[in-house]
Amino acid sequence: MRASVHRAVEELLSEQPAEEVTLPLIATRAGVHPTTVYRRWGSLADLLSEVASSRFSGDIVVPDTGDVREDLERWATAVATDLADPDTLAIMRAALGAGPDGGCACTADRHAQLEAILERERSRGGRTPSVEEASDGLLGPLYYRALFTQLPVTAEWVRGLVRKLLS
């Protein structure tokens, strides 16, 4: 049931404005009784957080090239590619819109991935920025550009962010 409800959320958000995507509509699309959905998830906000957490986990393979700059460039490019997908952005916007917990659900795994890349470099004896600095320098501009601007995300721009972070 969980999978079909998640799929219903993703389908509906790709088809219509978020304001029209309600728990009863999701239940109907998933072929589940609305009461069951209310009992299991409680609120649309909780359901959207769960969908976001699941959608934005384990979807990007953390690169391991032996070079931290190369790893960060590849990883940030993969995050940027994901953020260029309108359906991805629709899930993220809906999770953010539903309440204060939606944001962390979208990015908890991104922080873990970034930490893994940096930790590997430190285990090789390299010096790295902290995960907070890397998050400020990479995730900040990437997510800001995707959500708040119509500026393009190019490979050259992503490399520039990594260069600035490591400088």
Interface residue list for a second copy (CB under 8 A): 17-19, 22, 43-45, 86, 89, 93-94, 96-100, 102-104, 106-107, 132, 135-137, 139-145, 147-151, 161, 164, 167
Please report how close the Cβ of residue 132 comes to a second copy at its closest, in angstroms: 7
Task: For helices 86-98 and 2-15, give the axis angle rounded to 10 degrees.
Answer: 110
CA distances to 64, 68, 131, 135 from 119, rounded to whole Å, are 12, 10, 9, 14
Distance CA 60, CA 153 (A): 18
* Closer residue to a second copy (CB): 36 or 149: 149
Give whichever of 107 and 117 is closer to a second copy, judged by the CB atom. Answer: 107
Measured from the CB atom, is 113 or 123 closer to a second copy? 113
2 or 163: CB nearest a second copy: 163
Q: Within 13 Å and on the Cβ side, how many CA atoms surround 50?
A: 15
Min dist. Cβ of residue 66 to a second copy (A) = 27
Give the shortest CB-82-to-a second copy separation in angstroms.
Answer: 15
CB of 123 to a second copy, least distance (A): 25
Rounded to whole angstroms, the Cα distance separating 59 from 56 reads: 6
- With both helix axes pointing from N to C terminus, report the angle between 34-41 and 44-55 in degrees, rounded to the nearest 10: 70
Q: What is the Cα–Cα distance from 60 to 12, expressed in whole angstroms?
A: 24
Name which of 11 and 101 has its Cβ closer to a second copy.
Answer: 101
Output the smallest distance, CB 93 to a second copy, in A.
5
Location of structure tokens 């009461």:
35
For residues 86 and 69, give the distance between their C-alpha atoms in angstroms, rounded to a whole number.
Answer: 28
